[in-house]
Structure 1
Amino acid sequence: MDSFESLLRRIVESFNAAGLDYMFTGALAVSYYGRARTTADIDIVVAVGDVGWRDRLISALRTAGLIVEEKALDDALESGYNIATFRDGKSPLTVDLILSPRKLSKKSGKILGLPTYFQKPEDLVLAKLRMIKATVPQERAQKDVDDIKAILKFAKVDLEAVKRKAKKESTLQILEGLVAESLR
């Protein structure tokens, strides 16, 4: 088993055993929805509001073989940045944890035959739209553009809900352009 699959298996098993509210996002979620993508890291959103979450998360990270610096977790929360990166102790791979104060809206699925959770396709599209909007120059956002097109093509997406939220986030014009391109 390669190091990426090994790390992924260790994460899913330890996070499930710890009862964490988590979901995969980024390239892994895009791959789940139909566009195979390579990545050098694993992006995971973890809800951090329930009782005992911190101890369970630290324990799960260590069980998964990650090098845990508790200060990195605390600094991420205190700064409001809410992202902490941890390195695998058995490979050169890293895990980016996005810490969410809210309960997660997620989709259940499987990875490597294990039950797990992914960011809903609608929320993934909206996150990618925000990235495209923030990326300068726009040409550097091509990966996110391609991801959105693939998600819209291969996943069941509530496009009307995405449009409503995109309008509020001032990304509707980008979305409409991508939808029009996808229909060509």
Structure 2
Amino acid sequence: MADLLEGVRAPYMIFGAVAVGVWGRIRTTLDVDFLVQTDEEGLSRLETTAESSGIGVDRRWLDWNPMRRGVQIRLILEPFRADVVRATDAHDRAAMERRRQVSWRGRSLWVVSPEDLILQKIRAQRDYDFSAAVSVIEEQKGRLDEEYLDLWARRLYVEQELAYVMRGGTVG
């Protein structure tokens, strides 16, 4: 997938559960999430290129999620699936600027920063995402840019959620 994205010159970063495994505690997943810096036309070109490379495109998923049309595509590389999402807001763009290169199996890949991953997880508002954010905080203790986290938590209106995960996911 990274080769495909680099081939179409789409700046990307891995986020989601795979990134949690980089910065927090590893959990099993068959999903890989990519945030790409491109427009709707670029996403469409990426879909066409993926398909011509033998990668499946899950159009049925898009039928069930029509609001994601032009923003996200789901690619199938059995048994895995890759969700490719366009960067659409100010935080997405800031996160792309702060992405980090990590080495994996002898190659360099772009991954979301731990701070931006925490913010993405608390924006999702799901129990398992809060747990994932806590795992990143625990594993990155003392290395997080807390000023950046506070700034974006205010901008994204998730200050209480950030305080919650910073306390380890406990009320108090």
Q: Which residue of 1 aligns with 2:106?
A: 113
TM-score (norm 1): 0.70
The count of corresponding residues between Structure 1 and Structure 2 is 160
After superposition, the Cα gap between the structure-2 partners of 1:172 and 1:112, relative to the gap in structure 1 and judged at 3 Å, is same
Task: For 1:146 and 1:113, locate their aligned partners in 2 and report how far apart those are by CA, in whole Å.
Answer: 30
Query: Which aligned runs of 4 or more in structure 1 are off by greater than 4 angstroms?
Result: 69-73, 76-81
Q: Which residue of 2 aligns with 1:167?
A: 154
Q: Which residue of 1 aligns with 2:129?
A: 144
Question: Once the 2 structures are TM-superposed, how far is the Cα of residue 81 of structure 1 from its aligned partner?
Answer: 6.5
**Of 86, 89, 95, which aligns to 2:82?**
95
Task: For 2:76 and 2:36, locate their aligned partners in 1 and report how far apart those are by CA, in whole Å.
Answer: 17
After superposition, the Cα gap between the structure-2 partners of 1:31 and 1:96, relative to the gap in structure 1 and judged at 3 Å, is same
Supply the AA of the counterpart residue of 2:87: S
Aligned residues of 2:58 and 2:76 also touching (Cα < 8 A): no
TM-score (norm 2): 0.75
Question: Structure 2 matches for 1:49-128, cutoff 5 A?
Answer: 49=39, 53-54=42-43, 57-58=46-47, 61-62=50-51, 65-68=54-57, 82-88=71-77, 91-101=78-88, 104-105=96-97, 106-128=99-121
Question: Once the 2 structures are TM-superposed, how far is the Cα of residue 77 of structure 1 from its aligned partner?
Answer: 9.6
Question: Once the 2 structures are TM-superposed, how far is the Cα of residue 180 of structure 1 from its aligned partner?
Answer: 2.3
Question: Once the 2 structures are TM-superposed, how far is the Cα of residue 120 of structure 1 from its aligned partner?
Answer: 1.6
Task: For 2:13 and 2:49, locate their aligned partners in 1 and report how far apart those are by CA, in whole Å.
Answer: 14
Note the alpha carbon deviations across 1:66-115, whole angstroms, 9 max, x for none: 11479988xx8986671221212xx2321111112475221111222211
Supply the AA of the counterpart residue of 1:154: E
Aligned residues of 2:30 and 2:80 also touching (Cα < 8 A): yes
Supply the AA of the counterpart residue of 1:114: R
SS at 2:19 equivalent: helix
Question: Once the 2 structures are TM-superposed, how far is the Cα of residue 150 of structure 1 from its aligned partner?
Answer: 1.7
Note the alpha carbon deviations across 1:134-167, whole angstroms, 9 max, x for none: x4xxxxx1x2122111211223321121112112
After superposition, the Cα gap between the structure-2 partners of 1:81 and 1:163, relative to the gap in structure 1 and judged at 3 Å, is farther
**Of 125, 130, 141, which aligns to 2:123?**
130
1:40 aligns with 2:45: no
Supply the AA of the counterpart residue of 1:85: R
Unaligned runs of 5+ in 1: 1-10, 136-140
Aligned residues of 1:58 and 1:70 also touching (Cα < 8 A): no
